[in-house]
Amino acid sequence: MNSAKTEQLKETAQTWFEALRDRLVMALEEVEDALPAGAPLSDRPAGRFKRTAWQRTDHTGAQPISGLPEIANVNAGPAGAGPGGGGVMAMMQGRVFEKIGVHVSTVFGEFAPEFRSEIPGAADDPRFYASGVSLIAHPHNPHVPAAHMNTRFVVTTKSWFGGGADLTPVLERRRNQEDPDAIAFHGAMRAACDAHSRVAPYDRYKKWCDEYFYLKHRGEMRGIGGIFYDWLDSGDFAADFAFTQEVGRAFLDIYPELVCRNFAKPWSKAEREEQLVRRGRYVEFNLLYDRGTIFGLRTGGNVESILSSMPPVAKWP
């Protein structure tokens, strides 16, 4: 896993994730600026992201063997250079987004013994490297859907890409496949897959998303779906990486558009109540089932960053 070629692939992926983060941050700050006068909360100042760097220590407490003695300089902004790598949280609380985070992390080290059998390629050699970008958005306006996007590159004795994007309307009448937002979002994800159909079968990734973002204890989906994929290693890094980039670009194009379609609509107390209850379902999924949450907590990740996906206010009636 520490060959010169592998190190180059790691750097290439990390550079893309950081660039995508910067483009998302810029686009979402523009959405904050675009809220028209007279819209709900338009009297508030537009939000801006605040970036916070963090460092991770490997479960051994010592500098792990990674092949990358220094990921980056923390003071420069990218992922931390301390033992185990790190990342940068970018958080915003604004007038459109009640809470939104766009994070990049690049972590490395050894999986704890009890975790190794669950990760491809880690049973015999526990060393790993993982870099990725993640976004979670919880808007103020109940008419604006919540959203999640994550793409990542993982290296053990094997290497693969994973990720996806999904949409979570919080009003029941908008939680259907015929809603204009759902149609537009699915269309964007299908186009991303179809542009790379050799490695990204849309029907499979859509079904995978539906099955993954499912609350078994409630018998319901978290949202209206999207795409989800993992362990993508077709044998062609360039093709797998190109698709992963396409997912990020597709989300960057479609989600700000959906926000702007809805962010000026007035809402009622009943709709806010419905939003808070639906957010409770979001919390349940992330704490009970989400792989990213489990992976981050079990590999010594930054707890504040991992749990930043939680909505700022939720309710269980």
307 φψ region: left (φ > 0), alpha (ψ -120 to 50), beta (else): alpha
177 secondary structure, DSSP code: T
| Cβ atoms 48, 94 nearer than 8 A | yes
Helix (H, G, I), strand (E, B) or coil at 83: coil
Q: Rounded to an integer, what distance in angstroms lies between the CA atom of residue 137 and that of residue 168? A: 10
103 labelled catalytic:
no
Catalytic choice (59, 103, 140, 148) = 148
Write down how long the chain is.
317
DSSP 19-69: HHHHHHHHHHHHHHHHPPTTSTTTTSPPP--EEEEEE---TTSS----S-S
Between 237-262 and 180-194, two packed helices, what is the crossing angle to 10 degrees?
Answer: 160
Active-site positions read 148
